[in-house]
């Protein structure tokens, strides 16, 4: 694999840089640079989504016929790098990066024609309905029911940890349409209008005080069978395909490289307990260098995986590898940040950041103590604790690798 950028690729990088410099307002740049959540605040991210749509760069990994970009793997990665360097806010991945690949692969032409353009425009804002009280990491144990009634499915049950469900108008769900000999059988992949009678959303407040996650309750919700993706009872195949994109469809390394550069600069001014600055502490410096080396190694693995995607393949087992390495390294970065923050890391100061939802716990409305990066450190630390759990716990990912790669 050639990792040297060509003249054409360097020209594309300059084009991307110029776009970000022009399109990112101070408000949008702040929303990305000081983000304390996995996803950004809803309205800001929608404004950024519209700008990307106007440029034609909102869904670069989609087929060109549906609004994607005919980019090489190098261009995809350059875009991800420059997006991180520019401090751009994230676009919610639920529709564009997760549900859309499943629709494109398994949906009918009518479904694609209806849903894909509305995902791009933001008219449809999506959330995910996978996890349940007894079915999170063991997703096949889900029990939300979908009973056939003519040309409808009658749905009952509860989904948990649904990001931005309180502002979403569509949810893609896994539902139990039959009980068979294996739990993976009898599952259906279903698209549900959140405005349907019988849908109720309740907030889940995170450790950082933010309302981003939710419970979704379904009580006798009637859904047309035309909203089934694939076939009734064969949704597990669709779900596995989608999860490969959720776990391995993004580049972790660029954003972590930005965070590490910020941290290294901050450590050059942060005082150490033994006098001098933190950057002079050999133990901290060694831990920082170790994480930087691991992130750079992950970058090479991501490039290899993106190369596979560019040839029409799917992430496969690499999705689990990237999910494990990416989320555990993200946690390591936040741990270094918390150490660098010192006693400022003990304070709850969400007003220093740009959370992904309203902060419902009591806090100061303006101002914060210490450097802004130090005030953000505990918020990012708590947020990343969930990284090794969501999208399939890392223990489950290791089981997948043991089975599919090692044959155990």
Based on the residue annotation, tell me whether 246 is a catalytic residue of this protein.
yes
Residues 6+ apart with CB under 8 A from 300: 3
CB 139 within 8 A of CB 239: yes
pTM score, two decimals?
0.88
Strand 152-159 with 145-149, pairing: antiparallel
pLDDT at 364 over 80: no
Cα 387 to Cα 240: distance, rounded to the nearest angstrom: 19
pLDDT at 310 over 80: no
How many distinct helices (H) and strands (E) make up the chain?
Answer: 13, 8
Strand 228-229 with 187-193, pairing: antiparallel
What does the pLDDT average to over 337-341? 93
What does the pLDDT average to over 107-111? 97
Q: In this predicted model, what pLDDT tens digit does every residue of 345-362 receive, in sequence order?
A: 888 888 898 988 888 877
pLDDT at 74 over 70: yes
Residues 6+ apart with CB under 8 A from 146: 153, 154, 155, 175, 176, 177, 188, 190, 223
- Domains of the chain in sequence order: 7-91 (no CATH), 124-236 (2.40.110.10), 251-404 (1.20.140.10)
Q: Which of the residues 210, 215, 246, 299 is marked catalytic?
A: 246
């Amino acid at each position: 694999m050639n990792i040297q950028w060509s003249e054409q690729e360097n020209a594309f990088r300059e084009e991307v840089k110029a776009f970000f410099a022009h399109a990112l307002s101070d408000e949008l740049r702040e929303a990305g640079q000081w983000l304390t959540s996995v996803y950004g605040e809803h309205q800001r991210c929608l404004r950024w989504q519209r700008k990307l749509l106007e440029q034609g760069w909102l869904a670069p990994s989609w087929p060109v016929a549906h609004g994607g970009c005919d980019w090489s793997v190098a261009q995809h990665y350059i875009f991800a790098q420059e997006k991180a360097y520019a401090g751009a806010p994230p676009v919610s991945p639920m529709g564009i990066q997760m549900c859309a690949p499943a629709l494109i692969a398994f949906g009918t032409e009518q479904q694609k024609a209806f849903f894909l353009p509305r995902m791009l425009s933001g008219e449809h804002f999506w959330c995910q309905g996978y996890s349940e009280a007894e079915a999170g990491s063991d997703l096949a144990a889900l029990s939300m029911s979908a009973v056939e009634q003519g040309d409808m499915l009658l749905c009952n049950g509860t989904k948990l940890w649904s990001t931005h469900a309180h502002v979403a108008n569509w949810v893609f769900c896994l539902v139990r349409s039959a009980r068979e000999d294996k739990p993976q059988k009898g599952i259906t992949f279903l698209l549900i209008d959140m405005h349907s009678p019988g849908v109720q959303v309740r907030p889940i407040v995170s450790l950082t005080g933010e309302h981003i996650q939710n419970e979704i309750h379904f009580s006798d919700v009637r859904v047309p069978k035309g909203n089934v993706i694939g076939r009734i009872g064969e949704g597990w195949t669709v779900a596995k395909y989608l999860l490969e994109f959720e776990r391995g469809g993004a580049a972790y390394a660029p954003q972590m490289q930005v965070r590490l550069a910020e941290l290294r600069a901050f450590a050059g001014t942060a005082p150490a307990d033994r006098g001098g600055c933190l950057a002079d502490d050999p133990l901290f410096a060694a831990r920082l260098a170790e994480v930087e080396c691991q992130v750079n190694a992950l970058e090479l693995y991501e490039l290899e995986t993106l190369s596979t995607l560019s040839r029409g393949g799917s992430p496969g087992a690499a999705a689990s590898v990237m999910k494990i390495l990416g989320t555990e390294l993200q946690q390591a970065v936040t741990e270094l940040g918390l150490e660098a923050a010192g006693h400022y890391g003990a304070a709850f100061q969400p007003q220093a950041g740009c959370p992904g939802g309203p902060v419902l716990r009591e806090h100061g409305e303006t101002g914060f103590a210490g450097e802004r990066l130090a005030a953000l450190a505990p918020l990012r630390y708590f947020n990343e604790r969930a990284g090794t759990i969501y999208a399939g716990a890392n223990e489950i990912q290791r089981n997948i690798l043991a089975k599919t790669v090692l044959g155990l």
